[in-house]
Amino acid sequence: MESIEPSAAEALPVTCRPGTAGFLRSVNAIHRAGYNHGDLHAGNVLFGETPEGDAFVKVIDHDNAFLEDENQPERRTEVAVKGFFPRDRILDGYDVVPAEYITRDLDVLCCLYISCDLCTEMQGVVREVFGMSLEELVEEFIETGVLPEVEDVLETVAVGAEE
């Protein structure tokens, strides 16, 4: 598949919930360390504020995290779909996530979905970065099992989420 170059997402005017960019960068740090979260959903992302008023985000529940190594599919556990946003939107019709979909790309797609839920303007950032809507990305993922390649995708999208 043809690689998509990072875009000028930072030029798009976006007002997001504080911590949206931090959320994307937190998952990006997990990926850069060679791991996939494996169970990203809105309930595993906590937003808060320090006593000084600074926003923070924590990505929790790393029980299903695994090293990105296709030779270890047995480390991928069953992950429920129903009732877990955004997996229930991405994989509508499934009870559990098929093992072949428990990948870094599913982590990224869940991040994009959660970010768009936090900040509706992120739909424009997603379109700018990927050249297609979030719904089209979901269709591509379901059909192929992968997303179009974008260099440092979560950082690129995080730039677009910054205030």
Total structural domains within the chain: 1
In this structure, is residue 30 part of a structural domain? yes
In this structure, is residue 163 part of a structural domain? no
Q: Could you tell me the pLDDT band of residue 75, with boundaries at 50, 70 and 90?
A: low
Torsion of CA 141, 143, 148, 152, to 10 degrees: 20
Does the pLDDT at position 3 exceed 50? no
- State the pLDDT at residue 113: 94
In this structure, is residue 19 part of a structural domain? yes
- State the pLDDT at residue 64: 86
Q: What is the mean pLDDT of the chain?
A: 84
Q: Could you tell me the pLDDT band of residue 9, with boundaries at 50, 70 and 90?
A: very low
Does the pLDDT at position 10 exceed 70? no
In this structure, is residue 1 part of a structural domain? no
CA atoms within 13 A of residue 49's CA, in its CB half-sphere: 6
- State the pLDDT at residue 70: 59
DSSP state of 48: E
User: What is the value of pTM for the model shown?
Assistant: 0.84
In this structure, is residue 112 part of a structural domain? yes
Q: What is the pLDDT of residues 82-108, one digit of tens each?
A: 999 999 999 999 999 988 888 899 999
- State the pLDDT at residue 71: 57
In this structure, is residue 5 part of a structural domain? no
In this structure, is residue 2 part of a structural domain? no
CB count, 10 Å around CB of 37?
A: 24
In this structure, is residue 6 part of a structural domain? no
Query: What does the alpha-carbon distance between residue 26 and residue 90 come to, in Å, rounded to a whole number?
Result: 21
Does the pLDDT at position 6 exceed 70? no
Mean pLDDT value of segment 17-32:
88
Domain span at residue 37 reads 11-68+77-149
Contact 125, 9 (CB under 8 A): yes
